[in-house]
Amino acid sequence: MEIELRRLIGLQVIVMGPSFIDNEKLESVKLLAVEDAGIWIESQEAVDRVVGRLQKKASSSSLAIFVPFGQIVTILAGIEPTGAKVLLDS
């Protein structure tokens, strides 16, 4: 079975990675795009943490965050043996 990260765009995946997400736990995020160097994700919790550190309010209710592959420890995604996508609860 071949797994391609690009096929999961638009779905919730679970990521462990950079400290702005939370490198101590797995976090459910929406995969927005995949580039050669990393992924674009949507996570309100991560945005709140990043913006909170800046002591500012987010100007948008939804912001995309780029995460380089070198900073990602783990990506979990639900799959079926047939290759069908499995939705993960957020």
Question: What topology is assigned to 5-86 in CATH?
Answer: SH3 type barrels. (2.30.30)
Answer whether 0.75 is exceeded by the pTM.
Answer: no
Q: Supply the pLDDT for residue 61.
A: 62
Give the pairing of strands 12-16 and 27-34.
antiparallel
Q: What residue spans define the domains of the chain?
A: 5-86
Q: What residues of the chain score a pLDDT lower than 70?
A: 1, 18-24, 53-61, 80-90
